[in-house]
Amino acid sequence: MAREKIYLEEVFPSPFMQLWGIFRKTPVAMIGFCCFIFLILLAIFAPILAPYTPVDGNLEMILLPPAWHTDGNVSYLLGTDELGRDMLSRLMYGTSLTFGLSFIVVIFSLVIGVVIGSLSALTRGLKSSFLNHFLDVVLSIPSLLLAIIIVAILGPGISNTVWAIAIVFIPQFIHITRYAVKEEFRKDYVLASRLDGASNFRILYYSVFPNIVERLMSQATLAQSAAILDIATLGFLGLGAQIPLPEWGAILANGLERFYIAPWTVYLPGLAILFAVVATNLVGEGIRHALKLRKEN
């Protein structure tokens, strides 16, 4: 039989592309992934897409129920709050605060955690044992409690919340990177490149990282769903985003006083948080599922 591709190298998909191939075939994971992309786009383009500004109120349209309600007005699709601010616009702008910031927080702590974690994986003995115990201590303090303490030091506000949550998530990433890198370093392919004379840094960068990147991504989605919940919780407690900012948790806390007469100001932001967290978790679940299948093959 004639081999037409004789001069072309046979393409063998990289671990990452194999993962994507399996991931793509899971419908639930793809739905989650689409929702995730949708939220990212919304977070970036909210100012263009939103029909109104999130802070300007229309005092003639106070506490309007959503449009499907008999008293609703279709130009305010999801109703208005007690100052006549459009709920839809506020929720859209809130995407960039709650969801967008959680994304940035996770990337920030991922980078720092991976650097510290992979460096610490190369240490041994007393230093390593000390770090391990120290991480155990930090991880045993609940993340929200630690974030609250950091906010108490820095003072309330959205930027301080972001710092607090980023700091809180770093130990998790250190822990998982360290564990993963140590596990990879025991394998034979690392020994092979070490025999070739590769330095530790080179092994880390070219051999180990491509093999642990999916595990880090799976941890990152877990961290992001926790980050969304933490940002919203701090906003709800009044320690995060301050009054005019349309952060989902803060909107919810704001609607609390009129919970009984205007329930949509409470359940809509809650649904938005739920949607974002479910989308993130579906993506994470899809990655873990694909990882498991790839390992089995």
Partner 1 sequence: MLTFTLRRLSLFIFTMLVLTLLSFSLSFLFPGDTVINHSGQINATATELAHLNQVYQMDKSIFNQYGAYLTHILNGDFGQSMASQSPISNEIIKLLPATIELSLVALLIAMLVGIPLGFIAAIKHNKTSDNVILSLAMLGYSIPVFWLGLLAILVFSIGLGWLPSAGQISLLFEIEFVTGIQFFDILLSDSPYKWQAFRDASAHMILPACVIALAPATIFIRLSRASMIEVLAASYIRAARAKGLSFQQIIFRHAIRNALIQIIRHVGLQFANLVTIAMVTEVIFSWPGIGRWLIDSIYQRDYTAIQSGLLVLSCFIFIVHILTDFIYAALNPLARGNNHGS
Alpha helix locations (H) across the chain? 15-24, 27-49, 87-94, 101-121, 126-140, 143-154, 158-185, 188-195, 200-202, 209-236, 248-255, 264-296
| 38 lies in the site for partner 1, by CB under 8 A | no
**Cα dihedral: 81, 86, 91, 96 (round 10):** -120
| 42 lies in the site for partner 1, by CB under 8 A | no
Judged by CB under 8 A, which of 213, 238, 293, 294 binds partner 1? 238
Judged by CB under 8 A, which of 78, 232, 250, 290 binds partner 1? 232
CB 48 within 8 A of CB 42: no
Q: How far apart are CA 94 and CA 268, in angstroms?
A: 12
Q: How far apart are CA 91 and CA 228, in angstroms?
A: 14
Q: Which span (12-20, 80-88, 199-207, 262-270) binds partner 1, by CB under 8 A? A: 262-270
x/- site string to partner 1, residues 153 to 182, per CB under 8 A? x-----------------------------
| 101 lies in the site for partner 1, by CB under 8 A | no
CB atoms within 10 A of CB 83: 15
Minimum CB separation of residue 263 from partner 1 in Å reads 7
Minimum CB separation of residue 236 from partner 1 in Å reads 5
Tokens of 117: 């974690």
Minimum CB separation of residue 260 from partner 1 in Å reads 7
Residues that bind partner 1 (CB under 8 A): 128-129, 132-134, 136-137, 139-145, 148-149, 151-153, 225, 229, 232-233, 236-239, 249, 252, 256, 259-260, 263, 266-267, 270, 273-274, 277-278, 281-282, 285
